[in-house]
Copies of this chain bind each other. A is one copy, B any other.
Amino acid sequence: MGDIREPLRELTECGLPQALEVMGERWSFMILRASFNGLHHFEEFLSELGIARNILSNRLAKLVENGILRRDPCPDDRRKIEYRLTDKGFDLLPAMVALRQWGQKYGAEVTENPVLVDERDRLPIGPTSILSHDGRILGPQDLALVERSDLGVRADGSQADQEGSLGLGEVIDIESLRRAKSAA
């Protein structure tokens, strides 16, 4: 019943463990995707996903508990319950799309269908991207990890002297990213 399992320890201050606490379970993202795709009812999820009844029940309850789905009893048919995404649930869209695109890129040749498109021109969306504060698309090469206290501080000529040093006030630039990228 209660989550007795110890929560994922944070390597440092980070939202990732929190996200995984909620969405890290085996079926959570599939249910989310089904919701995005317009499924709202228990039996719909059940037959579309091929998930076990009790697990679906449990996952839906957890998603509701965590504010990702809303649980609305239907007024017209009082047997039915409508599960609908909340704003918090919608905000998982970028994460879901990014995962999906990654799976698409590296998985067995799946030609996705239906396709997620820009409504304006009905052309497929581009890759999910990390943007800078002013909207440039950033690749792994453009990213660095810095201590909060050093935000906006131009590194005074110092590359991180040793990777992984994680020293206070030290610029931890993701050197390994760059090397691996250029080496490969």
Query: Residues on A close to B: CB < 8 A?
Result: 6, 8-20, 22-24, 26-27, 29-30, 33-34, 36-40, 44, 48-50, 67, 84-88, 90-108, 110-138, 140-148, 150-155, 163-164, 166, 172-177, 180-181, 184
The answer to whether B148 touches A114, judged by C-beta atoms less than 8 angstroms apart, is yes
Q: Which of B90, B105, B130, B175 contacts A128 (CB 8 A)?
A: B130
Number of copies of this kind of chain in the complex: 2
Bound-state Cα–Cα, A184 to B71, Å? 15
The answer to whether B90 touches A177, judged by C-beta atoms less than 8 angstroms apart, is yes
The answer to whether B123 touches A151, judged by C-beta atoms less than 8 angstroms apart, is yes
Contact A90-B37, Cβ < 8 Å, known A122-B153, A146-B122: no
10 additional A-B pairs beyond A98-B128, A129-B131, beta carbons within 8 Å, are A8-B27, A11-B34, A13-B110, A18-B106, A18-B110, A84-B176, A91-B106, A114-B166, A122-B154, A123-B152
Contacts of A50 in B (CB 8 A): 6, 9
The answer to whether A95 touches B93, judged by C-beta atoms less than 8 angstroms apart, is no
Bound-state Cα–Cα, A144 to B94, Å? 14
The answer to whether B122 touches A131, judged by C-beta atoms less than 8 angstroms apart, is no
The 28 listed contacts between A and B (C-beta, < 8 Å) are A9-B49, A13-B110, A13-B111, A14-B110, A15-B102, A15-B103, A16-B30, A17-B103, A18-B108, A19-B103, A19-B107, A38-B166, A38-B176, A40-B176, A87-B180, A87-B181, A90-B181, A91-B102, A91-B105, A94-B94, A97-B130, A114-B166, A117-B146, A118-B132, A118-B143, A119-B141, A122-B150, A128-B128
